[in-house]
Amino acid sequence: MIHVFLVMTMIGISHSICFWVMTEPKFSMRKTAFIYSGYFVAFMFLAMMSYAAFGNSAVFYAISFASTIVAAFFIFLFTSADPLCKKVFLFISYANIFSVFICISLIICRVFFKNSPEIVVYYVRNIIRTILFIPVALVYIRFLQPSTRAVSAKRLKTWHSISVVSALFLIIFALYVIIFNAEYENIEKHIPFFAVSVLIYISVLWVIFGTIQSMIAESSTELIKQKAAYLQNQLKTAKENELAAKTVRHDFRHHNQNIETLLKKGEIQEALSYLKQYNDSIEAAKLSEFCPNITVNAILNSFYSKAQKNGISVSVEADIKEDTAISDMDFVAVLSNLLENAINGCIECKSNGEIKVNIRAVAGKTVIVCSNPCRQDISIENNMIINRGIGIAGMLSAIRKYSGDIKYGYDNGTLTACIILNS
């Protein structure tokens, strides 16, 4: 029994690390660790009970395999902040890897440890499975994780397609697990077919992640175009304001003459009214100063102007210093997309409600909170809008750059977004 305990401990830890690596945590590290600890205890209990009931038999291995897969499914489902389509793909990928490792360990034990004691084979088989997880985890972290996390869930058809393809291989590898355990003494005759299946699967994975890289490149291109369009709009707004200011300055002498003429005639009220109109025209040509940061101020001015043109009431509170660790382009990616979505939300639901924006620098973090009226049919899963577009994908890319976080919430017709950037 002690042997089973030691091996299952090793397996449980390796699987937990794999879950941690492959998923984007939905909860805090403490809460996630607590959930994984619960998984580990349940896994150990089931394994010990199965071994006590069935011994070192095929039934015991079948229960261990099935329980591991089921546990992985629920962990991917409840602890990951990824959209559902990504969860499915990552879970199936994990199940494929696990199945292949089982088959490889059975082959190695049959070929190289044919005459070894059963307990030795048992240890070797599980040590091999555990060791194999290490290079796979490192490869995933280095090359694959950035790709899977950078792609938005907008491409649902693509995610569904690659999940279906991976599921087909899961069926194949699960069948190999069953065959290898049932025909362990004649396992050699199945090795060529298994090797071909693995090579085909690796080739398919290569194509899949090539597709993902293409998706990332396309998203990046669209984001660059979006940023360029926004900056062009900002330049246009600045030119319009500058033109208005030049017009006011050009007519300054003319205005003074008119006011002087009215005063000489004793038309005091007319002069005061004319002066008020003149002051209003000056204010209209001046940009509002929401905060000392030039970039943030420009974005807020553009947003404020667009909201007013659409008859949308806006409340802005901002306190961002001129010097900040967040780049101008990242502010554009995060703030402009957030505010643009807020305006579009008001327009779509035809609401007379108010957009509220609060931007603060707190304890080395930049906190952005934006609330706006929106449609009632909006879908939120794991604090994230479902079927989000390229705008939000661009926001996520910039947010992750600063190890930040974004959460959406909906309450009584109001959508609230909270973004935290570690600046």
β strands within 192-346, DSSP E = 313-319
Provide the residue ranges of all domains of the chain, joining segments of one domain with +.
2-218, 290-423
Contact call for residues 85 and 74 (beta carbons, < 8 A):
no
| Percentages of the chain per state (helix, strand, coil), in multiples of 5 | 70, 10, 15
d(Cα 95, Cα 114) in Å, to the nearest integer?
27
pTM over 0.75: no
Identify the pLDDT of residue 250.
Answer: 64
CATH architecture of the domain with range 290-423 = 2-Layer Sandwich (3.30)
Collect all residues with Cβ–Cβ distance below 8 Å to 204 and sequence separation of at least 6. Answer: 165, 166, 169
Who contacts 287 (Cβ-Cβ below 8 Å, separation ≥6)? 241, 297, 298, 301
DSSP-assigned letters across all residues of 241-285: HHHHHHHHHHTHHHHHHHHHHHHHTT-HHHHHHHHHHHHHHHHHT
d(CA 176, CA 403): 41
Q: Give the gyration radius of the chain's Cα atoms.
A: 31
For 61: left if phi > 0, alpha if psi spans -120 to 50, otherwise beta; the answer is alpha
Residue 101: what are its φ and ψ, rounded to 5°?
Answer: -65, -40
- The confidence score (pLDDT) of residue 290 equals 83
Distance CA 299, CA 290 (A): 10
* Three-class secondary structure of residue 360 per DSSP: strand
**pLDDT lower than 70: segments of the chain:** 1, 3-5, 7-8, 11-12, 25, 56-58, 61, 143, 145-158, 212, 215-255, 278-287, 381-382, 386-391, 393-394, 423
pLDDT at 200: 92
Specify the pLDDT at position 116. 82
Give me 88's structure tokens. 């499915």
